[in-house]
Amino acid sequence: MLVNNGIIQENTETFISHQNLALTHAHSIIEELRVQQGAILFWEAHYLKIMASMRMLRINIPMNFTPDFLSDLILKILSKNTSLNGNALVTFQVYPSHNLSAKTEYHIWLQPLKNKTLTEIKNHYFEIGLYKDFYISKDTLSTLPTNNRLISSLAAIFAKENDLDACFLLNTDKEVIGTNLGCLFVVSHNEIHTSGVDSGTSNTVFRKNLINIIKKEETYKIIEGPISPFSLQKASLLFILNAKDGIIPISKYRKKEYEVSDLPLKLALLLEAKTKEALV
């Protein structure tokens, strides 16, 4: 079940034209949102990001694209899919019509959440590698949630072929800017490093909120800046953050085995608490 241009559609096999620009030119915005217990987490931030991204990609914003209209639409389809029990990962994709007119099309689809709360951290063995066949550009376009994710997709295939769970991604300056599963955070002593937006890293809503949380903590100092591949094996802890899984602790990179820490859970608890401030 999905929403296609405002219409709830049971048959999901055919809903997009072969001439659609999202399909032929990767001209679209894809934003992933997390819904827990019937509430959209960080909805206002997600909405503002979608609107800003649409403007940057010159996708016309329909008059009915108000916060209430879109959130009501998401919650409506959620209520109709009773098997999800009010918990879902929502993918919102919007794109111009095939003739580059002012017409805008979109669809919304939902899938189950593996972990119903952000604090359900899966501490299973997680090994990661380094993908270096292709590099991500250091520009604003790389930070937007578009469907131009070829390098990330290739990295995922590389990981599967080499019995890895994920791969680090590099930009054109050979800096680590994240992983194919989400943003990367590197813990070393009392510092937590993550790539800056100017490096080409994906500028997600969850990333922004976690950075703001760490800034308010006295124990650790957050540093946004370049991350060298060589520094990864010197770190004490690495973890990934995304909307689907929340925080994913990394167990091993090459010969380096990382310590098991309660820091990911502490940050997840703070992030979960922060979501309560702005629920829809």
**Tens-of-pLDDT digits for all 280 residues of the chain?**
667 777 777 665 555 665 666 766 778 999 999 999 999 999 999 999 999 999 999 999 999 999 999 999 999 999 998 899 999 999 999 998 876 567 898 989 999 998 999 999 987 899 999 999 999 999 999 999 998 899 999 999 999 999 999 999 999 999 999 999 999 999 998 999 999 999 999 999 999 999 999 999 889 999 999 999 999 999 999 999 999 999 999 999 999 999 889 999 999 999 999 998 755 4
The domain spanning residue 183 has which CATH number?
3.20.10.10
- Non-local (6+) Cβ contacts of 244 within 8 A are 32, 34, 89, 113, 114
In a domain, 195, yes or no: yes
Q: Which of 65, 66, 108 is nearest to 89 (CA)?
A: 108
Helix and strand numbers (H, E) in the chain are: 7, 16
- Domain hosting residue 252, numbered range: 127-278
CA 12 to chain centre: 23
The total domain count for the chain is 2
Q: What is the rounded CA–CA span in Å between residue 147 and residue 8? A: 22
Domain boundary among 111, 144, 176: 111
In a domain, 248, yes or no: yes
Burial class (CB in 10 A: 0-12, 13-18, 19+), 81: middle
Q: What is the rounded CA–CA span in Å between residue 109 and residue 74? A: 9
In a domain, 119, yes or no: no
Cβ-contact 53, 145 below 8 angstroms: yes
